[in-house]
Amino acid sequence: MIEGQTALFGIFDDSAKADRATEQLRQLGLAEKQIERAEKATGKRQPHGVPRRADTVERSRPDFASHGISTEAASYYGDAYDAGYTVLVVHPGNKHTEAARILKHNGAYNYEAPRPAKAEATGATTPGMRGEDNTQTGIASTAAGSPAAHIDADTIEADVQHAQRILQQQYEARKEQGRE
């Protein structure tokens, strides 16, 4: 924990979203030590991961309580970690509002703002079929008739840019090794 700072927590269903949020937080000007990541068995090197508990049966579980949050909140984040979600802990300093916006924009949720309820079950129609006219294609809808998918152009664009950066880095690495 960085003294005198309120930490922001973000739980991500998808590690790529956490990667994108981390990249944007770095672009905001946060240092590596201000961004901690807890993720199960990724094989990734995580130099600034959340500290582990000491002298307990749960040694492998990150110690979220070390960030000065309630026992209930720490348990919430620990449960998310145990379930395989990626948890970011951010110490944003004077960039609290901007960092919180980045986390939310990338799909993070937390103890204070939990994940929205699961989407309604689909079943009324599927792509390519409508209840009244199965000759027209469309987006799948829920049994209540609302769209089952929400497409956010900004998220898609950010995903594409992130993938391009990764591919470029892989290309550069192969080039240095003489494989390109």
> pLDDT by residue (tens digit) across 4-46?
568 999 999 989 999 999 999 999 999 999 999 998 865 443 5
Split at pLDDT 50, 70, 90, the class of 130 is very low
Mean pLDDT of 80-91: 93
* SS3 category, 71: helix
88 and 25 fall within a common domain: yes
97-101: Cβ within 8 A, 24+ apart: 98/28, 99/8, 99/25, 99/28, 99/30, 100/8
Q: What pLDDT, on a 0 to 100 scale, did the predictor assign at position 36? A: 94
20 and 100 fall within a common domain: yes
172 and 127 fall within a common domain: no
Count of structural domains within the chain: 3
Mean pLDDT of 142-163: 74
Q: Per the domain annotation, does 2 fall within a domain? A: no
80 and 165 fall within a common domain: no
- Name the average pLDDT for the chain: 77
